[in-house]
Homo-oligomer: A and B are copies of this chain.
Amino acid sequence: MSKAITSRAQDYSQWYNDLVLKAELADYSAVRGCMVIKPYGFALWENMRDALDKMFKDTGHVNAYFPLFVPKSLFEAEEKNAEGFAKECAIVTHYRLKADPNHKGKLMVDPEAKLEEELVVRPTSEAIIWNTYKNWIQSYRDLPILVNQWANVVRWEMRTRLFLRTAEFLWQEGHTAHATRAEAIEETERMLNVYADFVENWMAVPVIKGIKTPNERFAGAEETYCIEALMQDGKALQAGTSHFLGQNFAKAFEVKFSDRENKLDYVWATSWGVSTRLIGALVMAHSDDDGLILPPRIAPFQVVIVPIYKGEEQKSAIDEKVNSIVKALKAAGIRVKYDDSDQARPGWKFAEYEMKGVPLRIAIGARDLEQGVVELARRDTKEKRTVSLEGIVDVIQLELTAIQQQLLDRARAFRDAHITPVNSWEEFENVLDTKTGFVAAHWDGTSETEEAIKEKTKATIRCIPLNNPEEKGTCVLTGKPSAQRVLFARAY
């Protein structure tokens, strides 16, 4: 098989890269750290985006679009936010190229076209958006503002990986404005729940909802809520964040409103985002050594049909039958592809669609046709069985539902088996190195200890789970008193 990829056991990291390339999700580009999202990967992203977009709209949000560039003076207005992103910003300094007098046919930056004020390519849009909201908000009647933006952002990263960490990525960023602290916190939590719902029920990846420690908080936030997922190699991945921004941005941009009593106050804010990084999470949560495994709800194709035939006569008999199956499946809202290309043999196609993670494969040959059956193969379990053409739409719908559930169950069982309470430093290091996964350990609550643990083990506090049970104990590192366990892990 020309498409074979490195196995997970051999080299998990290489397996991931091989898979992303060979399943044609993405490609490297000529721009350092930037990727090309290939049509198959983009079709997956479109399905994810459309599902999320509907959830945002169902919770009262509308979309808008704000400029790609942030003037430096706005960028630096909220100091913590600026400090957090300053080191990874692409900066536009000029607005024109000109012919290079010393190199025929080449261009150079025109030194006379230097901008008076540099423009930051947005790493996130709080600054430009809050500078705009200032003009939109005067009274409590203008609130809440519930706006989302689908956009590209740029964060200059030194070490990049397809989907997981790229200099440019696609995401959505919600930016909301509220009259009260309570309402803003409610919104922050609502969107965390929307993310958890999406990641679990569409991507079939179970998540733990929690809050970040101050060390891991979004720059400029008062509280960062997150959902944390576990990959098959036992490393955690932050799948989405929802920030309660307090009045920080309102103060930085002087955004006040008059309340019902005509009293002026600063506006309360939230922001929340998920990105194409989720595709990386999806790949690493479900896939195997034969390629991608996609949950039916977001798979570009849910079913692929491959004909097996000799000669034109068999082919046209199969075509006729398949066309009616395709029609019935499409009418039932199932995304189906009939691959009757004559440029590849059935075996090659089987491998190809396994690599691409299509949930169900139907193979149909001349003898099957006579008997009124097809072969149905599940990508997740590799089970094959013969099913009757009669009632096949119902069978396929049931199988797709079963696959969606099975992927979530399998990932949840793996995740649950990899949350390990530990009570000593030796155990802590041992679990991290051998069993991997989340380590539930007591922590004395200080940033210093968190930093020291990260320094020693590369593990960070992924989150303090919501509704975390109180449990008195002593910190695994310092032995100081602790009121609860928190979840540590090595992470992407």
Which residues on A are within 8 Å of B, measured CB to CB? 27, 29-31, 34-39, 41-43, 45-46, 62-72, 74-76, 79, 82, 86-99, 105-107, 109, 118-121, 128, 131-132, 135, 141, 147, 151-152, 154, 156, 168, 170, 343
Contact = CB atoms under 8 A, between A and B. Distances in A.
B36 A62 contact: no
B65 A42 contact: yes
B39 A147 contact: yes
Nearest to A29: B67
A328 B199 CA distance: 33
A96 B105 contact: no
B91 A86 contact: no
B91 A87 contact: no
27 contacts: A27-B135, A29-B67, A30-B128, A31-B67, A31-B119, A34-B69, A36-B67, A36-B132, A37-B65, A39-B62, A43-B62, A46-B63, A65-B170, A69-B168, A86-B96, A86-B99, A88-B95, A89-B97, A90-B92, A90-B94, A90-B119, A91-B93, A92-B92, A93-B93, A95-B156, A151-B152, A152-B152
A95 B91 contact: yes
Nearest to A129: B36
Contacts of A37: 64-65
Contacts of A156: 95-96
Given A62-B43, A64-B38, A89 B82 contact: no
A64 to B, nearest CB: 5
Contact of A67 (B34, B97, B128): B34
Contacts of A64: 36-39, 41-42
Given A63-B43, A152-B68, A95 B90 contact: yes
A147 B45 CA distance: 15
A107 B86 contact: yes
Contacts of A141: 343
Name the 3 nearest CB pairs between A and B, nearest first.
A34-B67, A39-B62, A37-B65
Which applies to chain A's interface (DSSP): helix, strand, loop or mixed?
Answer: mixed
B27 A132 contact: yes
Contacts of A109: 91, 93, 118
Contacts of A42: 62-65
A267 B27 CA distance: 21
Nearest to A156: B95
Contacts of A90: 69, 92, 94-95, 119
Contacts of A94: 90-91, 93
B34 A68 contact: yes
Contact of A121 (B30, B92, B106, B170): B92
Given A88-B95, A91-B94, A152-B152, 10 more contacts: A30-B128, A31-B69, A39-B62, A41-B64, A68-B168, A69-B168, A75-B107, A91-B92, A91-B93, A91-B96
Nearest to A93: B93
A469 B33 CA distance: 53
Nearest to A134: B30
A118 B34 CA distance: 15
Nearest to A43: B62
Contacts of A76: 105-107
A29 to B, nearest CB: 5
Identify the interface centre among A45, A95, A106, A154: most chain B CB within 10 Å of its CB.
A95
